[in-house]
Amino acid sequence: MEAMKKDLSPKKQRFVEFIQNFTDVNKRAPTFQEIMNGLKIRSLGTVNWYVRELEHSGSLKRSGASNTKRALMIPEQKQNTGSLPLLGLIAAGYPLEAIENRESIEVPLSYAYSENYVLRVKGDSMIDDNIQDGDYVIVRQQASAENGQTVVAFINNEATLKRYYPKPDGIELHPRNPAYTVIRIGAEDEFKIGGVVLAVFRRYE
């Protein structure tokens, strides 16, 4: 039926996240000892307590039988949640900054397709488009764009958000705010479209 989402205590949550992250980075599950060091716990007993506890509540499983080493794993997450992966941080004029532990961000159902992804805006470099620090941008991954669409553009490995205007004599990128300057892509520039911007999302706390 439904994936039961136990709401875990902060500490248990941190525990699960550590395992998730470790597995992600090292391509294998941590040992109890590694968890202990990583979380600054001073006793294996404590680690064991967490494992039992979380296993019992279904938030943690193991790939092998009992006693198997490095067997801890996070059970599959729910599928149709209407969320997209947060791929990185974008700041105009800088390369995309990847994110360590892959987060996922909930979006309206109509955006929840596999070719879409989310970027988080860092800094106020897009303030002229009324996009501010911390905003999320929903993007559809594609290499081409229509005239006038807002795209994630990579120019010489620097990322930015601009309107796309192909012209006979080259590509123009316009800021949404006409008070700012137009960028013209020259032959010497390396240029790539990272996707089309579908929406901007800002969470107030």
Partner DNA sequence: TCAAATACTCGTAAGTTACTCGTAAGAAAT
Partner DNA sequence: ATTTCTTACGAGTAACTTACGAGTATTTGA
Q: Which of 125, 144, 167, 192 is catalytic?
A: 125
Using CB under 7 A as the binding rule, whether residue 43 contacts DNA is answered as yes
Stretch that binds a second copy, among 23-31, 36-44, 52-60, 187-195 (CB under 8 A): 23-31
Residue from 62, 70, 122, 174 in contact with a second copy (CB under 8 A): 70
Residue 98 is classified by DSSP as E
- Taking CB under 8 A as the rule, which mask of x and - marks residues 140-159 in contact with a second copy? ---------xx---------
CA distance 97 to 102: 13
Stretch that binds DNA, among 38-46, 79-87, 120-128, 192-200 (CB under 7 A): 38-46
CA distance 122 to 91: 5
- Taking CB under 7 A as the rule, which mask of x and - marks residues 60-89 in contact with DNA? --x-xxxxxxxxx-----------------
Q: Give the amino acid at 45.
A: G
CA distance 170 to 184: 7
Give me 159's structure tokens. 């990322």
To the query of whether residue 162 is one of the catalytic residues in this protein, the response is yes
Using CB under 8 A as the binding rule, whether residue 203 contacts a second copy is answered as yes
Using CB under 8 A as the binding rule, whether residue 200 contacts a second copy is answered as yes
Cβ proximity to a second copy, 2 vs 169, nearer residue: 2
The answer for residues whose C-beta is within 8 angstroms of residue 173's C-beta and 6 or more apart is 153, 155, 160, 162, 163, 164, 165, 182, 183, 184, 185
Assess contact for 151 and 120: CB atoms under 8 A.
no
